[in-house]
């Protein structure tokens, strides 16, 4: 048998055993040093500029780790640790990276002395077991009573703790109440996607507000929009995935006609198709028409004349949240629209928030949902505020689901 020849790229590191373990630990240490200074109330923010020139200011461990361009495969495991912590718990992403790095640092001396890695792993597992026992011993159990003032105070403390090291720590009391209100307004399973977060530049942080219902920015609108009513009580909502404007001719379409009358019939037929769709939507009894696809100027004017509100190009995320909260179904054809597929809400309004117009649906019967509208200065500042609130929301959800907490130093 011929011996196998393995070709490796130039510059490939083929070291094995002890030198490779030391190399892995050193790589992890350099990552830990990059995020070490962001930890705690006195932690500093990092300004990271990616290859496209987009600047991000953050002290959220997971965000920084994702933005770092890490090539070393062992160091990438630290990124995965931060990501899984962010997805599961929400906060503490920097802490888990630092703990992992510190454990590796303590083990480095033993590796250099030649202690086998199996023995080291056994020792770490034993220490984990002792830590878990100590944590369970220190934990304080909280009785689960949703309207209990004591539980609410605890949740607010947890939310404030999650924000104490963030950019918005000075307003943590204001946001802690808002976050707890948002999470307690959800259904029992506390679905995270039912809390919408929208950012509006301008104003101060205290101008931020919590809306009990679905709210999203007014989409692009055509002439005739201003004539449509801007509020309804007991509103019926048609959710569509239909383009309500005249379709442009396809490039390869060819129509041969003998005279002008024949051509006029073709044009009239196109208009008639659109008017038939609009008429069927009007007949269904809907007051508000939302579509993922564009709603053209003819349709906008048609709806305005019949005291109906319409919005096209609604983002899919917002349409789905409206669907879950208000009921109904997203229709892909105008033929089957009737009262049974319409969503409902107690009150609809288009209102001005800062420099933006927002469509607001309140009193949704199907699922409980809420929207946080954040105000503030620079775009990076608003993005960091959103990340901080996400961490606080995740912590409050976790506290509600698990009935015990451990005080921190």
The residue extents of the domains of the chain are 18-138, 141-212+372-405, 214-366
pLDDT tier at 376, thresholds 50, 70, 90: confident
| Long-range contacts, stretch 299-303, CB < 8 angstroms, 24+ apart | 299/244, 299/245, 299/274, 300/221, 300/222, 300/223, 300/224, 300/225, 300/228, 301/222, 301/223, 301/224, 301/227, 302/275, 302/278, 303/228, 303/278
The pLDDT, as a whole number, for residue 294 is 87
- The domain made up of 214-366 has a fold known as GroEL (3.50.7)
Q: Which residue has the higher pLDDT, 360 or 404?
A: 360
The 10s digit of each residue's pLDDT in 154-178 is: 888 888 888 887 888 888 888 888 8
Provide the 10 A C-beta neighbour count for residue 372.
23
Q: Is the per-residue pLDDT at 230 higher than 60?
A: yes
Q: Is the per-residue pLDDT at 234 higher than 90?
A: no
Residue range 233-242: average pLDDT? 88
How many angstroms separate the Cα of 258 from the Cα of each of 65, 253, 264, 268, 272? 68, 17, 11, 16, 22
Provide the 10 A C-beta neighbour count for residue 5.
5
| CB-based contact 172:392 (threshold 8 Å) | no
Give CA–CA dist 54/48, Å, rounded: 8
Q: Output the six-digit token pair for 379.
A: 């775009």
pLDDT tier at 128, thresholds 50, 70, 90: very high
Give CA–CA dist 173/2, Å, rounded: 72
Q: Name which of 127, 97, 114 is nearest 18 in CA terms.
A: 114
Q: Which residue has the higher pLDDT, 46 or 129?
A: 129
Q: What whole-number percentage of the chain has pLDDT above 70?
A: 92
Q: Output the six-digit token pair for 371.
A: 């929207």
The pLDDT, as a whole number, for residue 5 is 67
Residues that are catalytic? 60, 93-94, 391
The pLDDT, as a whole number, for residue 124 is 93
| CB-based contact 241:331 (threshold 8 Å) | yes
Q: Name which of 213, 334, 325 is nearest 282 in CA terms.
A: 334
The pLDDT, as a whole number, for residue 15 is 61
The pLDDT, as a whole number, for residue 218 is 85
Q: Is the per-residue pLDDT at 130 higher than 90?
A: yes
The pLDDT, as a whole number, for residue 129 is 95
How many angstroms separate the Cα of 370 from the Cα of each of 193, 195, 233, 309, 373? 10, 5, 19, 22, 10
The pLDDT, as a whole number, for residue 271 is 84
The pLDDT, as a whole number, for residue 122 is 94
Choose the weakest-confidence range: 196-205, 220-229, 232-241, 243-252: 243-252
- The domain made up of 18-138 has a fold known as GROEL; domain 1 (1.10.560)
Residue range 244-257: average pLDDT? 70
- The domain made up of 141-212+372-405 has a fold known as GROEL; domain 2 (3.30.260)
The pLDDT, as a whole number, for residue 1 is 58
Q: Output the six-digit token pair for 329.
A: 């179904």
Give CA–CA dist 51/111, Å, rounded: 37
Sort 341 into a burial class: Cβ within 10 Å, 0-12 / 13-18 / 19+: middle
Give CA–CA dist 289/303, Å, rounded: 9
Give CA–CA dist 349/232, Å, rounded: 7
């Amino acid at each position: 048998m011929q011996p196998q020849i393995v070709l490796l790229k130039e510059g490939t590191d083929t070291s094995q055993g002890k030198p490779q373990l030391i190399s892995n630990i050193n790589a992890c240490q350099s990552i830990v040093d990059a995020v070490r200074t962001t930890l705690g109330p006195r932690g500093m923010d990092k300004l990271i500029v990616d290859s496209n020139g987009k600047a991000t200011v953050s002290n959220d461990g997971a965000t920084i780790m994702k933005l770092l361009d890490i090539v070393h495969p062992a160091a990438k495991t630290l990124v995965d640790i931060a990501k899984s912590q962010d997805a599961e718990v929400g906060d503490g992403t920097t802490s888990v990276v630092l703990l992992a790095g510190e454990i590796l640092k303590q083990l480095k001396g033993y590796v250099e002395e030649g202690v086998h890695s199996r023995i080291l792993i056994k020792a770490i597992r034993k220490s984990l077991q002792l830590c878990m026992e100590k944590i369970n011993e220190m934990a304080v159990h909280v009785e689960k009573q949703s309207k209990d003032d004591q539980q609410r105070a605890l949740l607010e403390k947890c939310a404030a703790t999650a924000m104490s090291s963030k950019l918005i720590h000075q307003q943590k009391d204001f946001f802690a109440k808002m976050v707890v209100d948002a999470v307690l307004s959800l259904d029992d399973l506390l679905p995270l996607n039912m809390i919408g977060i929208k950012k509006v530049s301008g104003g101060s942080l205290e101008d931020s507000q919590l809306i009990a219902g679905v709210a999203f920015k007014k989409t692009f609108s055509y002439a005739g929009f201003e004539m449509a009513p801007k509020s309804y009580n007991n509103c019926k909502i048609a959710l569509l995935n239909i383009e309500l404007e005249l379709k442009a001719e396809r490039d390869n379409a060819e129509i041969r006609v003998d005279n002008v009358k024949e051509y006029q019939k073709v044009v009239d037929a196109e208009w008639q198709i659109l008017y038939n769709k609009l008429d069927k939507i009007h007949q269904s009894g809907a007051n508000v028409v939302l579509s993922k696809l564009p709603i053209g100027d003819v349709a906008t004017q048609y709806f305005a004349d019949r005291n109906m509100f319409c919005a096209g190009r609604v983002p899919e995320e917002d349409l789905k949240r409206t669907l879950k909260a208000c009921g109904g179904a997203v229709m892909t054809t105008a033929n089957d629209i009737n009262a049974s597929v319409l969503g409902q809400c107690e009150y609809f309004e288009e209102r001005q928030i800062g420099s933006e117009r927002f469509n607001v649906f309140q009193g949704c019967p199907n699922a409980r949902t809420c929207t946080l509208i954040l105000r503030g200065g620079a775009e990076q500042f608003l993005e960091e505020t959103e990340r901080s609130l996400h961490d606080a929301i995740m912590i409050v959800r976790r506290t509600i689901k698990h009935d015990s907490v451990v005080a921190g130093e």
